[in-house]
Amino acid sequence: MAPIGVIPTSHVSCIHVRSSRDREEFQARRYRNVDTERLQVIVSKSLFTGEGVSAKSLGAWLRNLPGREGYKTQYLTERQCVAGALMLLLAYLRPEPSAPAGVRKLLENVLRRPSDLAVLGALPEALAEIGWISPGDDSLVCAAALEVLVEMSGPEPPVPSEALTKIRGLLRRRRLADTRLIMAYLDRILAISRGDVEFTQFREHGGLRAAKGLLLFLLRPDPAAVGTWPDEDINAEAQVTALAAIFAGIAHRLEGLSTELRGSDVLQHCLLDWIAVGVNGSDIGLPHSTTPAVGLERQGRDLVLTIDSKPAGHWTDAAHPD
């Protein structure tokens, strides 16, 4: 049997190899998006010695299987990007009073779409629903930035000038309420990223939060650095620094985040299952609910994240005692 789609490693019981040498080679390698240390590798020579089986015949059999054209790499890439955004957002979550409701709602809005292929379009909608960005131009800037960053995502951060040129091109084809203001904002972001204009703290709250978050991300595109913005005196709202983290997670994808930024095993397995469900064929069934129940509640000084009643994250706020 050759399943169509992606199987998360949490649902792989073991891997069979031809020889002890193959097992040693597999275990010696490190893969960016697979934790091989947790996989059982078994030498099963008999599985590789079937009569009439060859690489050529196997390839011909796989090519003739029905329905494989329905799978698109684009769906996998988009979900890897969105999963990276959610992971990085939680990695830098601050347990301030307004955090639990907004972040929980965002997680619910995204994760409740297990088989929705248009997951990238759901993210700006969810951000607008929880009030992190405004409807209209702010939402359009956010959507354009997400689309471009997914396209440019990978191990290397995007070049600011290239990303802004692509974002500008997308926005020129969309109905903006104030095109001149948006283009001027993008020009200023480019000037600041080049060092032509000094970056100073934001003058006021509100406005184009998506553009502000994009600026912070382009100034510090590294996932390990983007989370330092809340400690800077730049008059940035928590939503703006959170958007910067979301953009960084999108640009680097889940597999581009270090182990320290990936969160708990429960969170990782939840997001890996969510990725798999979104790109799988109907012949792969996961043995549990694909729409997890997410809880993010304040308990005294603590902020506790649960997924299907399992602990998935924990933050302590020393600034707000019981």
Per-domain boundaries in the chain: 9-70, 73-314
Q: Measured between alpha carbons, how far apart are the two ends of the chain, in Å?
A: 56
User: Which one, of 190, 194, 200, lies nearest residue 168 by Cα?
Assistant: 190
12-15's contacts with Cβ under 8 Å and 24+ in sequence apart are 12/39, 13/40, 14/39, 14/40, 14/41, 14/42, 15/39, 15/40, 15/41, 15/42
Is residue 319 classed exposed, middle or buried when 0-12, 13-18 and 19+ CB atoms within 10 A define those classes?
exposed
Percent of the chain past pLDDT 70, that is, above it, reads 87
Question: Each residue of 118-167: pLDDT tens digit?
Answer: 788 889 999 999 999 999 999 999 999 999 999 999 989 999 999 999 99
Residue count of the chain? 322
**Is the pTM above the cut of 0.95?**
no
Across 219-241, average pLDDT: 94
pLDDT the model gives residue 285 = 65
Mean pLDDT computed over every residue of the chain: 86
Coil, helix or strand at residue 119: helix
Distance CA 140, CA 214 (A): 13
